[in-house]
Every structure is written in C-alpha cells, then in structure tokens.
Structure 1
Amino acid sequence: LEISPEGTIRPDNLSPIYVNGLSIKEAEQKIITRLGQIYNGLKGDPPTIFFQVSLGNVRTVNVSVVGEVNQPGNYSLTSLSTVFTSLYAAGGPTEQGTFRNVQLVRNGKLEATIDLYDFLINGIQDNNLRVKSGDVIIVRPYESRVELDGEVKRPGYYEILEGETFSELLDFAGGFTNTAYKALVTARRNGLKEREVVDVNASDFDTFRPKDGDVFEITPILDRYKNRVQIDGAVYREGEYELTPGLTLKQLIEKADGLRGDVFMTRATVYRMNEDFSQDVIPVDLAQLMNGTIPDITLMREDIVSISSIYSLREEYIVQISGEVLEGGVYPFFRQMTVQDLIVLAGGLTEGASGAMVEISRRNKNPSLNTMAEIITLQIDKSLSLSTEDRNELLQPFDQIYIRKTPGYTIQQQVTVEGEVIAPGTYSISRKDERISDILKRAQGLTTYAYPEGAILVRRTEFSSAKSNDEISQEYLQQLRSKLLSDESALKNISQTRLIERLNKIQNKVAPDNEADVVGSRIRRENIQDIQEQDSLIRDVEIKEEEPTVLDLMKILDAPGSKYDFIVKEGDVISIPSKLETVRIAGEVISPLNVRFDETFNFKDYINDAGGFTSTAKKGRSYIQYPNGRRKQTKRFLFFKFYPKVEPGSTIFVSRKPEREGIGPSGWISIGTGLATFGLVTIQAIRLIENN
C-alpha cells in the first residue's frame, strides 16, 4: 500500500486510513489497529500474520528562510525537515542575526518562536518543529547582546533576553575557569554620553541584569601565594613549601630532607620581599646555624632560601683528551683519575697511536716560574698500552692530554689512472715523493692507442668536498654494521654482537687524517675568498672543487723525475685519452662543425672549412685549445697575424667583436647642450676681448 497525495492509504474492504503528519511508529500502530479488524492474526499471541511499514520516497516541501541568514531564499526540503535543518540549509544566522527569537510563520500566522540556545547549550529540541510547504522562517536582527571575556570556559558574544541575569549569562559561557577571580566581575557599560564601569559582586550574580552592549571582563586570580617559601641549592628536595606559623630556616631545611654532602657551610642567603616590594638579603652562617650557636631565623611569606654547593662556587673540573683516540673531547674530572681511565672514557687508542708519545699539559700554578705549562711525557708501546707507572699517572683538573700519532704513520692515499693505459684503476701512493711516471709504470705504461699530447692531471682544490679516507672508512664500517644488524644469526653470536657494540661506539667518529693539512687548506681557501671579495675583476670567477693541470706526458716519460714529472697527491686523476682524429671549429664562423684532422691543414684552412669568419668575428682574438687544456692565442706583428698550430682533438674558437652602444636621444641632447654652452662662453670671451 502507498500513501496517496492526500496522506491516506486505502486497504481493501476498509475506509481510508489518514497517516499524514504521523511518525513511522505512530502510522504503523494506527494501520495495525485498523487492519486487525479484518486480520485477526495480526493481534494473535503469537501473531500469525505480520505487517511492516517502511519509508520509501519522501515528498518535498518548499520553505522560505528570510532575514539575517547567510543564504536567504526558498529551499526544497524533505517533509521530515525541521526548523533547525532549514536554518542549516540557509547557512545559519549572520553576525547580526538573532539566535533567541527565530520565528516560524505558517499560513500567515506566527506558529512558534524558537530559542536556539535551548538546543545549542542544553540540547533541548522541544521547539524544533517539523516544517511544511509554504512555511516561512524569519531571523530578525538581535535586540540585546553582551560580550563575556576572560576566565570563562566559552568566552564570546551572547544574546540576552529581557529578565535574564548574569548567572544565566555565566551558564551560557560554561561557567568560570579554575583560575577565575569569582568574587567580583567588572562590566563596561555604554551610557547616554559616555561609558561607565559597573562592579558586580558575587552576591549580585542572581539579580544583576545585563544590558545591550555590556562587556564583562573575568580576570584571573593573582599570580602570588599567601603562604609560600622556597628553597634551592644543596638540599635534597628543592622547591616550594607551605609557610606554617613560626616556620624557621632550620625547620625548612629539615622539610627539604636536609643538606647534601656538597653544601657550602660558610654561608647561606635568605632573600626577603618587603611590603613595598623592596628586597632584603639576609646572610646566614650555615655551620653556626646548624650547630645552634646563632639564633634561628623565622621565615616570612615569599622568602627564598639559597644554599650554595661547593661546586657552584668554583670552576667546573674537567680534563681534555685529543689526538689518536676514538672519542676525543672534554670529560669531567674525578678524584684519583688516571691517564688510563681517561683513555678508556675516550673509547681507547687508534692504531695510529702505536709507539707514539703521550703529552700531558698541566696548568702552571707557580707564578714565579717563567713557564706557561708543565709538560709530562709518557710512552705507548706497540701493543697500544702504557707502562704500569705511566698508566697510573694521576691527572689533575684542567689537564690536557695529547695522544700523538706514530711518526711516519699514514693512512693509504689513492690516485686514479684512467684512459689508455694497460692497467687503469686506483693506485695507493707508496712514497711521499712518488711521481706521475712512477704511477704510470705501475699501470704498465701506455697502450698503442694512447694520445700523450692530450693527457691531463685533475687535482682537487682547496674547495673540494671529496670525502677523506676516514670518512670513507666510516661508510664501510656503517655498511658492515647494517649488514650485521640485518643478519638474525649474527645477533645470536656473542662475538658478532660485541662487534656491533664497538661499531655503534665509533660510527659517528670522523676525524681529519691530518689536522694541520685541514687547517692549512682552510686558510688557503679563506685567502682565495678574501682576494675574490676585494678584487672586482675576479669576483665572478667560478670556484671549482677540481681543476685540470696540463701535462707534457712525452717529457715526463722521457725524463722521469724532471720538473715536468709532478709528485702525485691524494685524489689525483691522471687521464690519458685515445688518439683523436677530429678538430672542432666553434664561435664566430659561418658554420661551426667538427672536421677530420688533416696534417696539411693550418689554422686558416680549418676556418675556411667552417665557411670563414662572420662579420662580427674578432679575428685577432681567435685561439685554439689543445686536448690537454692548453690554449694558444693568435699573435699579431704589424699587419700580419700568426695563427697557432693545429693538433688532433683541438678546438678552434673565434671570439665575437664587442658591441658598441649607439648614442640615444638623451646622449644627443647632452652633446647639444654642451656645444651650446661652449658657444655662449666663446661669444662672451670675444666680447670681453673687443671691449678691452
């Protein structure tokens, strides 16, 4: 059965049943009652006939929402819609709209007045009536609104109806916060000519009636204590305590669980705030106070007792270790501390400490001596340990320990040989004076396809960010650690577990291979930067991390150890190209291109192959760059130009003439003005001469 447009259903053998305006439950009960007149099984116990009412398509109703709403207009809503859902569809009241006097007009008459606060604050929906087609919801401007600010749970603007009190307003705002001053509330009120302040006592909250425009300020309680004293320093329980009647300094110390062992007994200080907020400082001999030889001090509100520690009155005792240890740095000093203790704290010695010296630098406490520090020297043997006597050398506060590197001990440094050598690859530098010829000899010489004239040496500059050997070693150790952690069987092996612990200890340790080299490199880098900043001509020159160096490889191979045979350094790359068969022509030529090298061609022949010079070419500035990076410029003598020799793999580059700026209108005006001025001066001079 379906409900007709008139709101009825028509069962067979029964008169129409009117269900319009009923809820689902009410309609179901009414229909069962009527159908039970024919079907007795509906009312049986248990029933043998069953009946169910379900909601299918819901009809729509047209409702108008007007006045102070964000989106006034006509809305098609379901027949189940209410006043609240209608307001929601219209975007709710505006800032000027009322929440307390929403009117529902039906058939031209006022059907109901809805107070939205009942729902928003108390959750009451008694006035949330269902709307019908043709209903009009009117939201008028508010009539009386006040502001509640400060220590309330929901500060903001609230509408007040006639007869409502401040207590009800406070309920709207959720009440006071736990830090609110509740004894007195201040209201700022608008008078006829000026504003006024009204004090509202707590006893008047239930009778005081707010007015439109009132602003209520709820202030917090004072940030002060009426019975507090404080103690800090060398006691076991620093903090705040209750000031009980007659509480003395000695009793407060007992409340704080007494004095610590590091207490400075000669003096304690009581800071007292007077009524006029001036401060008194009361010194106390703590030893005499605790012995009872001086009278105890009665404390007052907000007294602060400060008891110093012997350590807070002197410089913190530390020792420092650096050099060939895993974790160099500053460590706290303790009594009977030995060199061995500090080395253990620093993670132990590195391999580079084998056979090295240990220096202890100690502060000079004798001002009559002409020494700045006392130096004590110890020796480390090849097993990375100190002798029994040296191991037990007692340290003193502020000692500085230097673990020197073994003389001659260095970490491997590598150079790379690439290109046309028989055995290219990375080679460790075996001697400090090892040269390019030595490395090439270890690389078994050049191949038959090598082009020695194009060989270059790429060397790091002061600005290189390449990783040091120590940093690379750290990466390898980190990879080993990650591999062990991912292996479940390794985690069950005691020896490998201890290895992981050692790797964890040193994974963040990255030290420079040679501290002096690092400082020197930094100073050279800063010098270059200073020159750049001071010289505008080279300010825009690009600073590179690596730069090529031209090699004369044939002279190196013919005369090993000569001035052409450079000593290699870490990170060097010796690059030897294959034989080259082309020449590149670029710049201000008609058709830039690459051509095959021809021994019979000279510089001009290659230019002609590229179509010749352009009209903007600066012929005298043409140059050639050889494969090894060396450049040669075109030379001039009188009216003759001498072009450089061309070799395989070279690049010929023709420069452009600089552009000349034409004279614009402002330039011509300046020239004209100058000529006119010159003419006037000349005429005046002639007149003066004639007059004389």
Structure 2
Amino acid sequence: ESASSLLKLVQLADGLRKGAFTEKISISRLNADLTYSTASYNLKAILNGTEPDVVLQADDKVFIPIITDLRDKKTISVEGEVRKPGAYEYKTGMTIADAVIVAGGFTEAATGLRLEIGRRITNAESKDNIEIAEVINLDTERSLDQIKSSIALQPYDIVIVRTNPGYFVQKVVTVKGEVKFSGNYVLSNRNERLSDILNRAGGFTSLSNIKGVSLRRRVSADDPNADIRRNAAKKLFSTKNDSSAFTALIDSVEAYETVAIDVEEILKKPKSSIDILLQDGDVINVPSKDDVVKVKGEVLLQTQIAYIPNRRLSYYIDLAGGFSTQAQKRKAFVVASNGNGKRVKSFLIFKSNPIINAGDEIFVPKKLERDGKRVSVAEMVGITTALASVATVVIALLRL
C-alpha cells in the first residue's frame, strides 16, 4: 500500500520507534534534473495537528533520527590490572565495583590500594584553568563485594587499578651447553647475577670452553635499531640475502642481542660490576672446546684451520688462500666464540691485525653492489652503526 502523506507513512510503519526525535525530520526529494533537495519538518507538530500534513511524492526519502544518535555516547574507561581493560557504556549510578565487574574483575596482580579515578573537567567560565582533570585516589578492599565508596562514577571517568607492589611473576633464564646441570632456572631475587646461576648449574664440565661463554638477551619489540640491523646484515652478507632461509634467520636472530661478557674475569670477581645482573629470558651458552678456527666468506677456500696459539688474522687468511677479488678486506670480522665481534680497521698508517683464539670465526664480507651509483652517506652510516649488533647474525650464518 502506498503512502500519500507523511502521517499515512507513519501509520503504515506501525508508528514511531521509542526515542524517535520528531521535532526535526528531513525529506529528500528527487528533482526533475535528477538532483536531490532536502526540506525539514516538525513531525511532532504534524502529529499534534498544529501543522499540516506533508504530501509525499514517488522516490521521497524520509529520515527520522533517534535521539540517542544525536548525543555523544557516554562511556567510562577501566585500565590497569583488570582482565578486560577498555571503554564501557556508562550507566547512571555506576560505582567503582560496577566498573571493575564489567571489565572482567581484578587480575591476580591487582591491589585495592591507590585506585584512581580521573574525572573530566568542564568549566565553561574559564579558558585559563590550569587543572585539566580531577584526580580522586581511593584505598579500598580488593574483594569486589567489600569495595565501599560513596563516590558514584560520572560519564567519561577513567578508573585505574594499580599493580600490587609486592607481586612478581617468575623470571626464567636458560643455561645451555657444558655445565653439569643445564636447563631453565627461575631467578630467586632481583640481584641474581651470572656467577650465581653458573654455580646453581653445578659449574663447568671438563669439556667446556670458558672463554666462549656467551649471554644473549631478548630485544624489546619496539627496538628502534631492528630495521638498521636487518638492512646492514643484508648489505654486508649479500651472498645469501636472496634466500628465504637467510631472511628467516635474520628475523629470528635479531630478537636477541649478545651481551659482551668475560666469564674468566667474572669468576675472579663475583658480585662485582662486571658480574651482570640477569633478566627474564636471558640465555647463557657454554660451548665445548674447539681447537679450530673457521674462515668463511670472500676467501679462496672457506675452511677450518687447526688453531695455533698467538697467530694473527692474516695467518689464517693466508692459509685459506687469501682474499677473493670481491672481498671487503677492511670489513672482515673476527667473531669470538662468546659472540663478541671485532672488525679489521685502519687508522692513518696503522692497521689492526688481531690475535686469533681457539674457536674464533673469521668472516670476510662481499663488496657492496653499487649498480653504477655511489653508496650514500645514509647507507654507510646505517651499516657502520649496525656492525656491532650484527655479530650474533654472523655466528648463525657461519654455522649454516
């Protein structure tokens, strides 16, 4: 059945929805030139008979808004130690207990002490008010049925539940390799150091390479140097940067970084400043004795050479046949078994030629492909900045 007028249309629609805003509705009408024009009407007055009905035409579009659509949605926010932090619909009469309940309740780490309400300030009389929010602090019970507060929440309040200062999640470190009892260890206190964990692991076996003990530490997810390390690694080790395995290796290794340590000195001076405080996720690796030196990269013969005490880098490069024509001689790496790296570098007329130790790995990178263009200053700065961080990647690559 067609609706010839606005009142007839409302009747055919079985009346208005609850909350309909009738003081101002709009009707869009198709013009002869196929454009639309809009006119506003007071439907409330038409329903009351104080204004005339509106005759409708074909293709008219009638819009009657809902009153709630014309208002800001009132919410509260619950943050901190609750199971489902976030924004929730505000309801008149809400209390802190109600807010915590809709947010899933307290977490195990929550405390009722120092609950905080941040309340919006609306002062229409002054633009120079220094205060930007009213902050209300409460000390109450952690049990929801015992939270007592005469303070009712208001729209847009922010409720913050603090962490219990005496609550700690277990922190675990891992010891691998040549110790008597390898595996995971829970840190017993915040002052536990590398020497403490090595003692708890029963000490070293007779096959351990103490100089090669390494410590790897997780890198924060928002580490700003992650992209620098990845790009520098791909430039320096371009012989493998096209393989998916290489890319996966870079992505996995860069989640950790090597912490420079000297375990021999640490064991001589336990509890000193060089005896590093451990963190959650640390990995301590104690390698086996290794009486060879590995030479990889741009040499004529990639090989393993029997270690001879007090020999320098040039000795092992010569035994590997010398540098290839594509070698970046000045960017050669010496990577110790504990993960610390050392690069061959020149200063004026002097050139470093470091002494090599048992288990060291030498890597000679390939020259950068320039494609007829000079390497930019930004590229060189990025590579130089990342050299120290790439040492861990080098170890993984050499062991492929």
TM over 0.5: yes
| 2:255 partner letter | E
| Pairwise CA distance, 1:432 | 3.4
* Separation of aligned partners in 1, 2:95 and 2:57: 50
CA contact (8 A) 1:379 1:386 kept: no
* Separation of aligned partners in 2, 1:337 and 1:373: 20
| Pairwise CA distance, 1:598 | 4.8
| Pairwise CA distance, 1:316 | 2.1
CA contact (8 A) 1:323 1:405 kept: yes
Q: Give matches, 1:283-298, under 5 Å.
A: 283-298=40-55
* Separation of aligned partners in 2, 1:370 and 1:618: 61
1:555 correspondence with 2:315: no
| Pairwise CA distance, 1:649 | 2.0
| Pairwise CA distance, 1:581 | 2.9
* Separation of aligned partners in 2, 1:558 and 1:592: 37
Over 3 Å counting, the alpha-carbon distance change for 1:254 and 1:648 in structure 2 is same
* Separation of aligned partners in 2, 1:635 and 1:327: 55
Match of 1:374 in 2: 134
Match of 2:161 in 1: 403
| Pairwise CA distance, 1:347 | 1.8
Over 3 Å counting, the alpha-carbon distance change for 1:450 and 1:380 in structure 2 is farther
Match of 2:393 in 1: none
Q: Give matches, 1:160-179, under 5 Å.
A: none
* Separation of aligned partners in 2, 1:372 and 1:255: 51
1:394 correspondence with 2:152: yes
1:602 correspondence with 2:311: yes
* Separation of aligned partners in 1, 2:120 and 2:154: 9
Match of 2:289 in 1: 579
Match of 2:16 in 1: 259
Q: Per-residue displacement from partner, 1:380-418 (whole Å, max 9, x unpaired)?
A: 53446652326xx43332222222222243322221111
Pick from 201, 225, 240: which aligns with 1:443? 201
Q: Give matches, 1:656-675, under 5 Å.
A: none
Match of 1:434 in 2: 192
CA contact (8 A) 1:413 1:428 kept: yes
| Pairwise CA distance, 1:322 | 2.3
* Separation of aligned partners in 1, 2:332 and 2:201: 38
Q: Give matches, 1:83-102, under 5 Å.
A: none
* Separation of aligned partners in 2, 1:568 and 1:374: 41
CA contact (8 A) 1:436 1:565 kept: yes
Q: Secondary structure at the match of 2:24?
A: strand
* Separation of aligned partners in 1, 2:311 and 2:37: 99
Over 3 Å counting, the alpha-carbon distance change for 1:297 and 1:256 in structure 2 is same
* Separation of aligned partners in 2, 1:538 and 1:571: 24
Q: Give matches, 1:341-352, under 5 Å.
A: 341-352=98-109
Over 3 Å counting, the alpha-carbon distance change for 1:590 and 1:406 in structure 2 is closer
CA contact (8 A) 1:354 1:383 kept: no
| Pairwise CA distance, 1:323 | 1.9
| Pairwise CA distance, 1:440 | 1.8
Structure 2 gap segments, 5+ residues each: 237-249, 370-400
| 1:294 partner letter | E
| Pairwise CA distance, 1:350 | 0.8
Q: Give matches, 1:145-156, under 5 Å.
A: none
CA contact (8 A) 1:589 1:610 kept: no
| 1:339 partner letter | I
Q: Secondary structure at the match of 1:628?
A: coil
1:311 correspondence with 2:71: no
Match of 2:96 in 1: 339
Q: Per-residue displacement from partner, 1:635-675 (whole Å, max 9, x unpaired)?
A: 9999998854343223456789999xxxxxxxxxxxxxxxx
Which protein, 1 or 2, shows the higher relative CO under an 8 Å CA cutoff with sep ≥ 6?
A: 2
Over 3 Å counting, the alpha-carbon distance change for 1:383 and 1:448 in structure 2 is farther
1:456 correspondence with 2:214: yes
Q: Give matches, 1:106-505, under 5 Å.
A: 242-243=2-3, 247-273=4-30, 281-367=38-124, 368=126, 369-383=129-143, 387-389=147-149, 393-462=151-220
* Separation of aligned partners in 1, 2:286 and 2:172: 18
| 2:275 partner letter | D
| 1:461 partner letter | V
* Separation of aligned partners in 2, 1:596 and 1:646: 11
| Pairwise CA distance, 1:327 | 1.7
* Separation of aligned partners in 2, 1:632 and 1:253: 83
CA contact (8 A) 2:312 2:355 kept: yes
Q: Per-residue displacement from partner, 1:14-72 (whole Å, max 9, x unpaired)?
A: xxxxxxxxxxxxxxxxxxxxxxxxxxxxxxxxxxxxxxxxxxxxxxxxxxxxxxxxxxx
Structure 1 gap segments, 5+ residues each: 1-240, 463-520, 660-692
RMSD over equivalenced CA pairs, Å: 4.1
* Separation of aligned partners in 2, 1:568 and 1:402: 31
CA contact (8 A) 1:356 1:407 kept: no
Q: Secondary structure at the match of 2:51?
A: coil
* Separation of aligned partners in 2, 1:614 and 1:582: 20
Q: Per-residue displacement from partner, 1:271-297 (whole Å, max 9, x unpaired)?
A: 444556565544333333333333333
Q: Identity of counterpart residues, as a percentage?
A: 36
| Pairwise CA distance, 1:353 | 1.1
Over 3 Å counting, the alpha-carbon distance change for 1:277 and 1:436 in structure 2 is same
Q: Per-residue displacement from partner, 1:443-483 (whole Å, max 9, x unpaired)?
A: 23323332210111112224xxxxxxxxxxxxxxxxxxxxx
Match of 2:276 in 1: 566
* Separation of aligned partners in 2, 1:290 and 1:453: 92
Q: Give matches, 1:504-543, under 5 Å.
A: 521-522=221-222, 524-525=223-224, 529=227, 540=235
CA contact (8 A) 1:620 1:636 kept: yes
* Separation of aligned partners in 2, 1:651 and 1:278: 77
CA contact (8 A) 1:623 1:644 kept: no
| Pairwise CA distance, 1:614 | 7.3
| Pairwise CA distance, 1:379 | 3.5
* Separation of aligned partners in 1, 2:329 and 2:26: 90
CA contact (8 A) 2:140 2:148 kept: no
Over 3 Å counting, the alpha-carbon distance change for 1:374 and 1:618 in structure 2 is closer
Over 3 Å counting, the alpha-carbon distance change for 1:581 and 1:280 in structure 2 is closer
CA contact (8 A) 2:28 2:61 kept: yes
Q: Give matches, 1:25-64, under 5 Å.
A: none
| 1:553 partner letter | V
| 1:456 partner letter | S
CA contact (8 A) 2:28 2:39 kept: yes
Q: Secondary structure at the match of 2:289?
A: coil
Highest Rg: 1 or 2?
A: 1
Q: Secondary structure at the match of 1:441?
A: helix
CA contact (8 A) 2:235 2:368 kept: no
| 1:421 partner letter | V
* Separation of aligned partners in 1, 2:204 and 2:11: 89
CA contact (8 A) 2:180 2:204 kept: yes
Q: Per-residue displacement from partner, 1:83-102 (whole Å, max 9, x unpaired)?
A: xxxxxxxxxxxxxxxxxxxx
Q: Secondary structure at the match of 1:263?
A: coil
